[in-house]
């Protein structure tokens, strides 16, 4: 028995030596993200500004405006409208919801930022009663120090919302959450309509091709985007539009503007079933 144990120990040691001296595991290459394709714009022989559409193919010169000069919002609306008309002619059977593109006559103005004293502030709902201090006056038959905070609140008429994963919360809690979410969406609405807010340099804003976030189809992401040459998330497509039609710099994933725009776009498609990968 001792011999077997000793042999086993020896084999184990030999195995350990063999493992220690064996070939080192090959390093696993980190997955790489394919490089995003660019939208090369044709050069104007007159040095005029050339604006590209977010399809990565369509573009047009803006007569009388030189490269490097900004457009006015009215000019940007005319350009984006003309580009969209051209795209629709080239793609008559495209899966494109019919929407009225904003014209110069009814040029929408960017909505203001949410009032910091409005939706972000706690709404006017009754304050949740607090648990009385231990040793204080307690009516006969009422709650006691051993009843716990929940029993105290129920006894005093506070409406407690059950069914949450993380516990029970008051109506006031839920109202604050709803108001905070709405303020987040409204901020995204403002940025979506404001070329300067997304860092654009030619006055083109997201709403000019996507009024009310139409035809953004957030429920279809992730999906392969031909323009980008790879599978894209919604934020990838937002950045593509910022870089190309709007001539801005891409936003970081955690940029508050990116987060707000995503919230706004998703909010506009509330109730639409997810269908990732759909073209």
Can you give the pTM of this predicted structure?
A: 0.72
Tokens 């919302």 sit on residue: 161
- Using one digit for the tens of pLDDT, what is the confidence trace for 168-220? 788 888 899 999 999 999 999 999 999 999 999 999 999 999 999 999 999 99
Q: Residues 196, 140: contact at Cβ < 8 Å?
A: no
Nearest Cα neighbor of 40 from 59, 18, 61, 65 is: 59
Q: Helices 234-243 and 256-268 meet at what angle, rounded to 10? A: 110
What confidence category does residue 96 fall into, taking pLDDT thresholds of 50, 70 and 90? confident
Q: Give the length of the chain.
A: 279
Q: Partners of 49 in the beta sheet?
A: 62
Q: What is the C-alpha to C-alpha distance for residues 223 and 225, in angstroms, rounded to an integer? A: 6
Q: Report how far residue 221's alpha carbon sits from residue 274's, in angstroms, rounded to the nearest whole number.
A: 8
User: 172 near 164, Cβ under 8 Å?
Assistant: no
User: How confident is the model over 46-81, as pLDDT tens digits?
Assistant: 999 999 998 999 999 999 899 988 899 999 999 999
| Contact assessment for residue 208 and residue 81, using Cβ atoms and an 8 Å cutoff | yes
């Amino acid at each position: 028995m001792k011999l077997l144990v000793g042999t086993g120990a020896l084999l184990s040691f030999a195995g350990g030596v063999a493992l220690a001296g064996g070939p080192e595991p090959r390093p696993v290459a980190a997955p790489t993200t394919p490089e995003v394709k660019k939208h090369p714009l044709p050069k104007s022989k007159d040095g005029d500004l050339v604006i590209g559409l977010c399809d990565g193919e369509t573009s047009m010169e803006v007569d009388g405006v030189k490269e490097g000069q900004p457009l006015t919002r009215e000019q940007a609306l005319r350009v984006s409208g003309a580009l969209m008309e051209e795209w629709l002619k080239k793609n008559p059977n495209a899966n494109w919801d019919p929407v009225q593109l904003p014209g110069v006559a009814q040029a929408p103005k960017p909505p203001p930022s949410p009032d910091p004293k409005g939706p972000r502030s706690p709404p006017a709902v009754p304050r949740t009663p607090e648990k009385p201090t231990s040793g204080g006056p307690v009516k006969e038959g009422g709650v006691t120090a051993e009843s716990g905070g929940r029993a105290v609140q129920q006894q005093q008429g506070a409406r407690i919302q059950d069914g949450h994963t993380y516990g029970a919360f008051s109506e006031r809690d839920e109202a604050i959450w709803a108001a905070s979410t709405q303020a987040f969406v409204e901020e995204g609405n403002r940025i979506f309509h404001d070329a300067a807010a997304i860092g654009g340099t030619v006055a083109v804003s997201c709403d000019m091709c996507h009024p009310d976030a139409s035809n953004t189809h957030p429920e279809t992401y992730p999906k392969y985007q031909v323009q980008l040459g790879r599978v894209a998330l919604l934020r990838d497509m937002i950045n593509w539009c910022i870089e190309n039609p709007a001539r801005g710099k891409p936003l970081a994933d955690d940029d508050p503007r990116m987060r707000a725009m995503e919230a706004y776009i998703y909010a506009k498609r509330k109730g639409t079933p997810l269908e990732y990968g759909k073209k």
